[in-house]
Amino acid sequence: MIEIDGSHGEGGGQILRTAVSLSAVTMEPVRVVNIRAGRPTPGLKNQHVAGIEVTGRLVNANINGLQVGSTTIEFLPGERRGGRISYDIGTAGAISLVLQAVLLPAILAPSPSYIEIHGGTDVLWSPPVDYIKHIFDFMLQKMGPKIEINLHRRGHYPRGGGRVSCSVEPVDKVHSIDFVEFGELNRVRGISHCVKLPAHVAHRQADAAESYLRDKGLEDIDIERKYWPKEEDPHLGAGSGIVIWAESDRNLRMGGDSLGKKGKPAEKVGREAARQLSDELSTGHAVDSHLCDMLVPYMAVAEGESSIGVTEVTSHLETNIWVVEKMLDIETKLEGKHGQPGKLTLKGTGISPSN
């Protein structure tokens, strides 16, 4: 059984998600110890339990230590399978982080999967579901996977109540990628939303983002405003946020996002997302600082050599590289200093459901 030290590097839930996800792909048991050891409240939280349990259902796994607060788990895969899975995190735990754990084994399953998760769609310390749908999924599909993500209801902290469904058509192989340079900017698109709040919040977020980007010389900008009349709003609690993305002539995307909170002006929310996107674009590299670590497990199981130019070498990227090296015994080459733009190259294992 492979043992992974959950306190290594960034030391958060990402190590756990990647280790369990790759275990479900390789069918090799894994033990993860010291889970989130450096966090104020170490061990598993509800969203980590959800990610492990849903992933386990895809491979009929036996799982030891699966409870909130546990700092050690053992994940023993049984057999690959697809099917319908529904799971309620029970809190505003991040749906996007659950999807990060389950999507890789789902795309290499022997049959299609339909996964429905209830929880938080727009919460701190995790990618918004709009980012997962419009940036992560868009870029991932260039590696072959066929994924459809649908956002049915938003869920903000603390009440949650969001609902997201995901349909996955499995593939026999994940293709390698060569995303080093972003190319020429074609356009900027985005979604600014608010729930249980006046419509002007969504408008002000979007207006501020557009104004910032136009001041930087960007022209083709279209940010959708989403809001609900008070009497028709189905959400449980108030919240707002914005996700914007740039599209290049090479048909690549990178993004920026920001969440609203009580006392934070909507204009600041919009400017934060726009500044983030502008900073990412200024490097000329193809893969933004949030997406780069998410792509690493897919590159690691792809057939052939993959290369990505990253806008920033982050601790999450460095940690995920370490995990795939431990789990798959592969070699990687990361060029660039921490906090600076860089380039990652690795040769994948070419895993397929028939292996």
User: What digits encode the pLDDT tens for the residues 176-203?
Assistant: 999 999 999 999 999 999 999 999 999 9
Q: Classify domain 2-179+287-347 at the CATH superfamily level.
A: RNA 3'-terminal phosphate cyclase domain (3.65.10.20)
Average pLDDT estimate for 18-43? 95
pLDDT at 355 over 90: no
Residues with catalytic function:
316
Q: Which of 96, 184, 164 is nearest to 135 (CA)?
A: 96
Question: Residue 45 in contact with residue 22, Cβ under 8 Å?
Answer: no
Residue 292 has phi, psi (to 5 degrees) of -55, -45
Whether the bond between 341 and the residue before it is cis, its omega within 30 degrees of 0, is no
pLDDT in tens, 290-349: 999 999 999 999 999 999 999 999 999 999 999 999 999 898 999 999 999 999 999 999
Which are the contacts of 150, defined by CB distance < 8 A and separation ≥ 6?
A: 164, 165, 166, 167
Which are the contacts of 141, defined by CB distance < 8 A and separation ≥ 6?
A: 147
Question: Residue 186 in contact with residue 248, Cβ under 8 Å?
Answer: yes
Every domain range in the chain assigned CATH 3.30.360.20 = 185-281
Q: What pLDDT, on a 0 to 100 scale, did the predictor assign at position 11?
A: 86
For residue 313, the 8-state DSSP code is B
Length of the chain: 355
CA-CA distances (angstroms) from residue 42 to 16, 34, 93, 135? 13, 8, 16, 31
Max Cα-Cα span within the chain: 56
Which are the contacts of 259, defined by CB distance < 8 A and separation ≥ 6?
A: 122, 123, 124, 128, 239, 240, 241, 269
Confidence band for 38, pLDDT divided at 50, 70 and 90? confident
Q: Give the fold, CATH level 3, of 185-281.
A: Dihydrodipicolinate Reductase; domain 2 (3.30.360)
First to last CA, the chain: 19
pTM, two decimals, is 0.96
**Amino acid letter, residue 22:** L
Q: What pLDDT, on a 0 to 100 scale, did the predictor assign at position 353?
A: 79
Q: Measured between alpha carbons, how far is 182 from 180 in angstroms, rounded to an integer? A: 7
Question: Residue 103 in contact with residue 82, Cβ under 8 Å?
Answer: no
Instruction: Look over the chain and give the mean of its residue pLDDT values, rounded to a whole number.
Output: 96
Average pLDDT estimate for 142-151? 96
Q: Give the full edge-to-edge strand order of the sheet including 2-5.
A: 2-5, 30-33, 73-76, 62-64
Whether the bond between 158 and the residue before it is cis, its omega within 30 degrees of 0, is yes
Average pLDDT estimate for 272-286? 98
**Cα radius of gyration rounded to whole Å, the chain:** 19
Q: E strand or H helix at 280, and its extent?
A: helix 266-281
Every domain range in the chain assigned CATH 3.65.10.20 = 2-179+287-347
